[in-house]
A = this chain, B = another copy of it.
Amino acid sequence: MPLIKRFCDKLPADAHKRERRKGARPGELLDAALDLFVEKGFAATRVEEVAARAGVSKGTLFLYFQSKEELFKAVVCENISGHLKGWNDEFESFEGSSADMLGYCMNSWWDRLGATRASGINKLMVSEAKNFPAIAAFYQQEVIRPGHALIRRVLQRGMDRGEFRKMDLDYAVYSVIAPMTFLILAKHSMGVCMPDDLGLDQKKYIRTQLNTILYGLSSSPVNLGQGPEKVRA
């Protein structure tokens, strides 16, 4: 390697390529690690596999990550970067109805996160939360809480504008979160939770869930005044 380095001294252009390569390594490793952790779980994934998938040797992985656990942390951190920040701004200036806003919210969430590899993080956290409480807390802080807040804002807006009925937002948020989370988990769990994975049109799934969330399944508008809150004892 000192050989190559000396060689590079004479070829600055090549050196540059090398630099870029070096910069690219951690990213490739994180990508590979994300895929494998999501697919097989943390414990069942071998670092050698991660390295191989990233096209480097086992030793190289440890140049960038102190340990397998650090790699895990990095994978989680890397994939929860602030998509939400941008969203908050977008929503600030949203003009349409709250129903449209919710629809926009769910669809863009799917397009920007759900449909990407980053969505695997969700499954990963479900699977490994117990083994990595610190990471789970971090995830909670960085993803869950802001996500909940975002949904809350939309629902609150709807309530404020009289578009949505009064509700306990602490629980109502899950009407939005649960279907989206479910879709992610189904996607990453080999369709364990779907009769057959490929048969599901994800966009249609979202549209249908949105519909239910907004209007429910009932055919008639029952007691919306006092509220359905008292249904069931």
Contacts and interface: CB of A to CB of B under 8 A. Distances in A.
B219 A212 contact: no
Contacts of A155: 217
A67 B110 CA distance: 41
A44 interface: yes
A100 interface: yes
Interface string A181-225: 111010001111111000100001101111111111111111010
29 contacts: A40-B131, A41-B43, A42-B43, A123-B126, A125-B192, A126-B189, A127-B127, A130-B189, A130-B190, A140-B191, A144-B192, A158-B217, A164-B217, A168-B204, A170-B199, A172-B208, A172-B217, A175-B209, A178-B182, A178-B183, A178-B209, A181-B193, A207-B229, A213-B216, A214-B228, A215-B222, A215-B224, A216-B216, A220-B224
A167 interface: yes
Contact of A127 (B41, B167, B199, B207): B41
Interface residues of A, number: 77
Contact of A182 (B39, B182, B222): B182
Contacts of A104: 232
A133 B228 contact: no
Nearest to A222: B215
Q: Within the oligomer, what is the number of copies of this chain?
A: 4
Interface string A151-189: 000010010001111011011101101110111010001
B144 A194 contact: yes
Interface of A: 39-44, 99-100, 103-104, 107, 123, 125-131, 133, 136, 139-140, 144-145, 148, 155, 158, 162-165, 167-168, 170-172, 174-175, 177-179, 181-183, 185, 189-195, 199, 204-205, 207-222, 224, 228-229, 231-232
A207 B174 CA distance: 12
